[in-house]
Amino acid sequence: MLEFEEKTQPGEQAHTSLTLALEQRIKSRMKVTLDDGRKAGLFFEKGVSFQDGDLIISTDRKVLVEIKAAREPLSVVYCDTPLLLARASYHLGNRHVPLQIGEGVLRYQHDHVLDEMLRCLGLEVQTELAPFQPEAGAYIGAGHVHHPG
């Protein structure tokens, strides 16, 4: 079984890829099957997460793997009204929902209850199958932190 415990910088062409959903990309230790069928283990320090395009290298330095974000069911809101999009972001963020924020678009893991909440705000919600790349947050690597006002 191949073992990985280090990310590396772009430079060489990856030998294969590893497609992971968000729930897997936030785990630092797990057994996986590379996209070419080989078994591998990820043994990264606690708190390490993976983004689409990250590169990891095997402990023997022979295998370079590119991380790919898997397509997963997402709820998507397209909106050209900044205030309405801000209100939607506020209400979703208040519920600690991971969000992918783009120009005039919000994406979150599909949830029919949240979809209905946004419809009540006057937004149209669609479902799409796509890679999910939520905002990393303001406290990257610091855990979940609340500071007194």
Mean pLDDT over the full length of the chain: 91
Averaged pLDDT for residues 1-9: 95
What is the arithmetic mean of pLDDT over 9-13? Answer: 87
pLDDT tens digits for range 50-94: 999 999 999 999 999 999 999 999 999 999 999 999 999 999 999
Q: What percent of the chain has pLDDT over 90?
A: 87
| pLDDT for 137 | 66
Q: For 81-110, what is the mean pLDDT?
A: 96
Q: Are 121 and 144 in contact (CB under 8 A)?
A: no
Domains of the chain: 2-69 (2.60.260.20), 71-131 (3.30.70.790)
Asked whether the beta carbons of 127 and 75 are under 8 A apart, the reply is yes
Q: How many CA atoms lie within 13 A of 31 on its CB side?
A: 4
Q: What is the pTM of this model?
A: 0.79
- Stretch 44-49: mean pLDDT: 93
What is the structure's pLDDT at 12? 84
The predicted structure's pLDDT at residue 138: 53
For 60-104, give the DSSP string. TS--EEEEEEPEEEEEEEE-S-HHHHHHHHHHHHHTT---EEETT
The confidence score (pLDDT) of residue 141 equals 44
